[in-house]
Amino acid sequence: MKFLLLCCALLVHANVMADEPLPWAEVTHELGEIDALPAGRLSKRALESLNQTGKALFSAHFTPADGAGRPNATQAIIPTKTRRTREHVLLRTAGPDATACASCHNQPVLGGASDFVTNVFVSEGFTQADFDSIDPQFSNERGSNHLMGAGLIELLAREMSRDLAAIRTDALVRARDTQNDVRLELTTKGVSFGFISASAEGLVDLNEVSGVDDDLTVRPFSQKGVMTSLRQFTVNAMNHHHGMQAEERFGLHVTGTDDFDGDGYANELTPGDVSALVAWQAMLEPPVQEVPNDEAWIAAALRGKSAMENFGCTGCHKESLPLESLDFFDPGPLDVVGTLSSSSVEEPAIYDLSLTFWADQLTRNEDGHVLVPLFGDLKRHQMTDHKNEALGNEKLSQRFVDRTRFMTAELWGVGSTSPYGHRNDYVALRDIILAHGGDAKVSKDAFAAANDSTQLDVVAFLKTLVILP
C-alpha cells in the first residue's frame, strides 16, 4: 500500500513537471530562463534578477544535455565547420577546454583571473583547427585575466570610439569646407592614438594612426585589444571553451541550420542567456586600491607610486580615465553581424551601473565624470625591440595586429592576480616589468637602473591594487 502511494505521488509529480527537467537532471536549469530580451531601463529589482541568472550561467558546468561540445564546429569566432568529426569532447589545446566560465575566472573571486594552468591556446580556428600541440606555430598561449570592472572598461571604450569617430568626421568636414588638407590629433580622455589626415576630395589617411584599429573602434577586450564587447567575447568564449553556440551567431538565420555544431541540440544559447551573462559581467565590482594596515607599507607604496610616475610607467598605465555615463546599453552600439547590436534590436536594455553597490565608492572629477581607476589606456603598444624579445613569444598575428603589440594591461587588481604577462608566465612583478621593451623601453630602463629598494617600492604599490575577496 505504502509502495503504491509513493508510486502515485511520483506519477503525479512527473505529470506536473512534464516539460521541466527533473531537479537532479544533468542540465543547467537557468538556460532559457530569460525568454525575452530585456529592453529599456531596468529597475534595480529587474537588474538583480538578471544578475542572478548571469551568475548562475557563469558558474554552471555545461553538460551534453545543454548542448555542450561541438563535434562539427571549430573554435573560430566565425561559424566554421571541422573537416572531420572531433574525437574528443574536451581537448586542452583546441578546446572545448573547460565546462564552466568559472573554471578559469575565479582568482580570488568569481569573475577573477587564474593561474598558468588555465592558459588558453588562442587560434583563429579556420585551418588546422584541431591541433593537439602547444607549439606556438598553432596558437597563441594566453593567461586568464580578470573581468572585475569590465562594464566600466567597455563603457570607456565606447566613449573613446565615439570621440575618435567625431574627430574623423571633423577632419573630413573641415577639409571639405577649407578645400585644404587637414591633420588632426586623435586624442580622447587624454590618450593619443596618433593623427588622422583628410583631403579636400574626402579621402582619409590613416598612416599615422597608432594603437587602435583603422575603423577607430577601441576594442578593450583580450590582451591583444581585439574584441569589442562583453557580448562578443561571451559568444566567442561559449563556443570556444564549451561548445555552446549562441543563436545570434550560429542560428538558422546566419548558418542555415539551428544545430551548426551537429551535436543534436538546437539554439543552445538564447539571446536572453547571453544578456544575463553580459549583465553579470558588466556589473562586476571594480578592483580597489587598498592601503594595508602597515605604516612601512603605506610609505613604500606612496614612494612606489611616484617612482612609477617618474619612470614614465603612467604614460601607458594611466591612473584613471574619466567616464561620462554609467548607462550600459546591451546590446551595445559597436558590434557587428554575429553579435547582437543596439541597431539590430527594437530597444536595447539599459543597465544603470550607478545602481550597483560599488558605484558610490568611485571618485568623480569636477565635471561629475567617474574616474575609472584602471591604470591603463586601452591602447596597443609595441612591446619588443631588437635587444629585448621577451614579450615577443607569439608566432601568429591575431586579427591582423602585429604579433609583438599588446594592449596595456590594466593594473587594477594586479595585486590579486599572479602570475603576470599575456602568457601568465612571469611569477614575480619585477620580472614582468623587466620584460617590457619597445615603446616601454625607456621606462623599463629607468626601472632597471633604480636601486633595489626603489624597485621594491613599486612592488609595494602594485600590491595595493587588489580585488576584494
Q: Which residue ranges make up the site for ligand HEC (CB under 6 A)?
A: 97-98, 101, 103-105, 118, 120, 122, 142-145, 147, 150, 221-224, 230, 233-234, 237-238, 241, 277, 281, 308, 311-313, 315-317, 381, 383, 391, 406, 408-409, 411, 414, 417, 420-422, 429, 432-433, 436, 439-440, 443-444, 447, 458, 462
Residue 231 CB, nearest approach to ligand HEC (Å)? 9
Closer residue to ligand HEC (CB): 34 or 383: 383
Residue 350 CB, nearest approach to ligand HEC (Å)? 20
Q: Which cell goes with 403?
A: 604579433
Closer residue to ligand HEC (CB): 233 or 351: 233
Residue 407 CB, nearest approach to ligand HEC (Å)? 6
Closer residue to ligand HEC (CB): 198 or 230: 230
Are the C-beta atoms of 349 and 275 separated by less than 8 Å? yes
In angstroms, the CA 232 to CA 235 distance is 5
Closer residue to ligand HEC (CB): 171 or 246: 246
Residue 107 CB, nearest approach to ligand HEC (Å)? 11
Residue 227 CB, nearest approach to ligand HEC (Å)? 7
Residue 157 CB, nearest approach to ligand HEC (Å)? 11
Closer residue to ligand HEC (CB): 258 or 445: 445
Closer residue to ligand HEC (CB): 195 or 221: 221
Largest CA distance in the chain: 97
How far is C-alpha 290 from the geometric centre of its chain's CA atoms? Answer: 24
In angstroms, the CA 196 to CA 188 distance is 13
Are the C-beta atoms of 422 and 372 separated by less than 8 Å? no
Closer residue to ligand HEC (CB): 45 or 386: 386
Residue 313 CB, nearest approach to ligand HEC (Å)? 3
30 burial (CB, 10 Å; 0-12 / 13-18 / 19+) is: middle
Are the C-beta atoms of 321 and 163 separated by less than 8 Å? no
Residue 99 CB, nearest approach to ligand HEC (Å)? 8
In angstroms, the CA 405 to CA 440 distance is 11
The reply to whether omega before 331 is within 30° of 0 (cis) is yes
Burial 379-401 (b: 16+ CB within 10 A, else e): bbbbbbbeebebbbbbeeebeeb
Residue 410 CB, nearest approach to ligand HEC (Å)? 7
Dihedrals phi, psi of 253, to nearest 5 degrees: -70, -20
Residue 10 CB, nearest approach to ligand HEC (Å)? 36
In angstroms, the CA 340 to CA 273 distance is 12
Closer residue to ligand HEC (CB): 38 or 198: 38
In angstroms, the CA 166 to CA 171 distance is 9
Using the Cα atoms of residue 270, residue 272, residue 274 and residue 276 in order, give the sign of their dihedral: negative
Closer residue to ligand HEC (CB): 72 or 314: 314
In angstroms, the CA 181 to CA 448 distance is 44
How many Cβ atoms sit within 10 Å of the Cβ of residue 424? 25
How far, CA to CA in Å, does 296 sit from each of 291, 301, 457, 464?
A: 11, 9, 10, 13
Closer residue to ligand HEC (CB): 77 or 172: 77
In angstroms, the CA 74 to CA 83 distance is 9
How far, CA to CA in Å, does 186 sit from each of 93, 320, 378, 441, 456?
A: 39, 19, 14, 24, 36
In angstroms, the CA 330 to CA 338 distance is 15
Q: What's at 177, amino acid-wise?
A: D
Residue 439 CB, nearest approach to ligand HEC (Å)? 4
Closer residue to ligand HEC (CB): 238 or 279: 238
